[in-house]
Amino acid sequence: MQLTHLKIRDFRNLVDVELEPGAGVNLISGKNASGKTSLLEAIYYLSHLRSFRTPYLSDLINHDATELQLLAKAKDQLGNLIPIGVERSKTSLQVRANQKAIKRVADITAAFPVLAIHPDSYRLITGSPTERRAYIDWGVFHVEHGFFEAWQRYKKAIAQRNAALKTRQRRDYCQLWDRELDNAALHIHSRRQHYMDQMQPFMARLVDQFFPGQQVRLEYKRGWNEDLSLLSVLEQTLDRDLKRGLTQAGPHRADLQIQVDGKSAQTGISRGQQKLLVALLKLAQVQQFTEVAARHCILLYDDLAAELDQHNRTQVLSVLQAMPIQLFLTAIEPGQIDLQSWSDVCMFHVEQGRLS
Ligand SMILES: Nc1ncnc2c1ncn2[C@@H]1O[C@H](COP(=O)(O)OP(=O)(O)OP(=O)(O)O)[C@@H](O)[C@H]1O
Ligand SMILES: [Mg+2]
């Protein structure tokens, strides 16, 4: 999928912006506060219907407006142009793709896959397991069949079980959903495991290049005792769950443990190394997506120059150059990113929310 046209209305300081990005790399430059990140955020929003930097819609709608609007055209693998439109106010959301109303966010995310690397991405390492599950699940969702449906089933069942636990229902009533949970959990786990197994060689190659001589270990943890079925764990922990009013084991507690030379990446490496490692995790994900899923996604890379030193920046750029993806980069000065050897380059300049 490739973005060929984008019209932005009242998204942060981008009041009225229109651009026709190229199929290769698009470099967006401009001073601080000109609107570079906002532009990437708008593209991300088209795919996820949420932002990578705020959970609040009111942050995204221009302060002088009541709704934001994004109109895009995207070219799919077969060359078909698909119009996508999003209109969002405080009280309503309308999403259309190919002239049809879209009811589930998942449908637009599936059709228009976008990944972002930005200055807060290091939280993938330092933040809560939720961040790491979201990372794994982006890939699992796009690549593994039936994952979304299993996840929906699991979510429904766990909500009901938790409600029963919270209201201190009888034990056998609380256990009504255990079989369904066990079944969905196995499905979710096997897809995640399969995905992470497929990711490992891509990550290993990048680690060899960027962390030579160092051992980077990714260990996917499924969220409940590896030797027992979820059904028996749920049974064993029912008393504790009843006390807490919460189901404490299952794929909703899965995590990805990341170690560098035997030390946790959360505390054992520098912030710069964490940023580099997260960039590699995402690049591996893009590579897996293009090679295994045989599809193309869009990668947004905010502030590349500020994030990495000269050596790593050059190397990351050469990895990016070898990828058949549409890329959006931001920089304060265009000269900070050396694109001389790239063939398909589009340059944009933003100034106070206006694009040239
Ligand atoms: N809802 C909003 N309405 C209007 N302006 C907003 C809104 N949200 C943010 N802004 C402003 O938009 C401007 C652009 O912000 P953005 O983060 O996109 O800049 P940037 O070019 O990425 O800057 P930097 O180089 O510092 O990262 C900022 O001045 C910000 O205060
Ligand atoms: Mg920015």
Give 199-227 pLDDT, tens digit per residue: 999 999 999 999 999 999 999 999 999 99
Mutate to test the pocket of ligand 1, among 13, 58, 59, 307 (most ligand atoms within 8 A of CB): 13
CA of 33 to the centre of ligand 1 (A): 5
Closest listed residue to residue 287, CA positions, set 320, 332, 238: 320
User: Mean pLDDT throughout 328-350?
Assistant: 94
CA of 295 to the centre of ligand 1 (A): 32
Please tell me the predicted confidence (pLDDT) of residue 110.
87
Mutate to test the pocket of ligand 1, among 8, 15, 38, 307 (most ligand atoms within 8 A of CB): 38
Ligand 1 in contact with 12 (CB < 6 A)?
yes
Q: What is the mean pLDDT of the chain?
A: 95
Please tell me the predicted confidence (pLDDT) of residue 144.
84
The 8-class DSSP code of residue 102 comes to -
Mutate to test the pocket of ligand 1, among 28, 36, 54, 88 (most ligand atoms within 8 A of CB): 36
Query: Please, are residues 256 and 221 in contact by the beta-carbon 8 Å criterion?
Result: yes
Domains of the chain: 1-113+295-356 (3.40.50.300), 129-271 (1.20.1050.90)
Which CA distances in Å does 119 have to 194, 275, 302, 306?
Answer: 29, 8, 7, 9
Residue whose pair of structure tokens reads 């160092």 in the numeric block: 214
Query: Please, are residues 277 and 289 in contact by the beta-carbon 8 Å criterion?
Result: no
Are β-strands 25-29 and 326-331 bridged in parallel, bridged antiparallel, or unpaired? parallel
Percent of the chain with pLDDT over 70: 100
Query: Please, are residues 222 and 254 in contact by the beta-carbon 8 Å criterion?
Result: yes
Ligand 1 in contact with 36 (CB < 6 A)?
yes
Give 126-171 pLDDT, tens digit per residue: 999 999 999 999 999 988 888 999 999 999 999 999 999 999 999 9
Ligand 1 in contact with 62 (CB < 6 A)?
yes
pLDDT above 90 (res 105): no
Please tell me the predicted confidence (pLDDT) of residue 168.
94
Give 76-89 pLDDT, tens digit per residue: 888 999 999 999 99
Please tell me the predicted confidence (pLDDT) of residue 35.
97
The residue contributing the CA closest to ligand 1 atom 9 is: 12
Query: Please, are residues 272 and 256 in contact by the beta-carbon 8 Å criterion?
Result: no
User: Mean pLDDT throughout 183-204?
Assistant: 96
The 8-class DSSP code of residue 308 comes to S
Q: What is the largest CA-CA distance in the chain?
A: 69
Contacts of 349 (CB under 8 A, 6+ apart): 28, 29, 30, 334, 355, 356
The SS3 of residue 99 is coil
Give 286-334 pLDDT, tens digit per residue: 999 999 888 899 999 999 988 789 999 999 999 999 999 999 999 999 9
Give 33-82 pLDDT, tens digit per residue: 999 999 999 999 999 999 999 999 999 999 999 999 999 999 988 899 99
CA of 104 to the centre of ligand 2 (A): 29
Neighbours of 72 (CB within 10 A): 22
Contacts of 25 (CB under 8 A, 6+ apart): 320, 327, 328, 329, 339, 342, 344, 345, 346
Task: Dump the DSSP string for 276-344.
Answer: HHHHHHHHHHHHHHHHTS----EEEETTHHHHS-HHHHHHHHHHHHTS-SEEEEEESSGGGS--TT-SS
Euclidean distance between CA atoms 130 and 125, whole angstroms: 11
The residue contributing the CA closest to ligand 1 atom 3 is: 62
Euclidean distance between CA atoms 136 and 134, whole angstroms: 6
Please tell me the predicted confidence (pLDDT) of residue 33.
97
Cβ-count burial of 324 within 10 angstroms (0-12 exposed, 13-18 middle, 19+ buried)? exposed
Q: Where are the alpha helices (DSSP H) in 2-128?
A: 36-48, 57-60, 105-111, 123-126
Please tell me the predicted confidence (pLDDT) of residue 62.
97
Percent of the chain with pLDDT over 90: 90
Rg (CA), the chain: 22
Contacts of 197 (CB under 8 A, 6+ apart): none
The 8-class DSSP code of residue 146 comes to T
Please tell me the predicted confidence (pLDDT) of residue 330.
97
Euclidean distance between CA atoms 51 and 44, whole angstroms: 7
Predicted structure pTM score: 0.94
CA of 328 to the centre of ligand 1 (A): 17
Please tell me the predicted confidence (pLDDT) of residue 106.
87
Closest listed residue to residue 247, CA positions, set 322, 184, 335, 328: 184
Ligand 1 in contact with 34 (CB < 6 A)?
yes
33 alpha carbon, closest ligand? 1
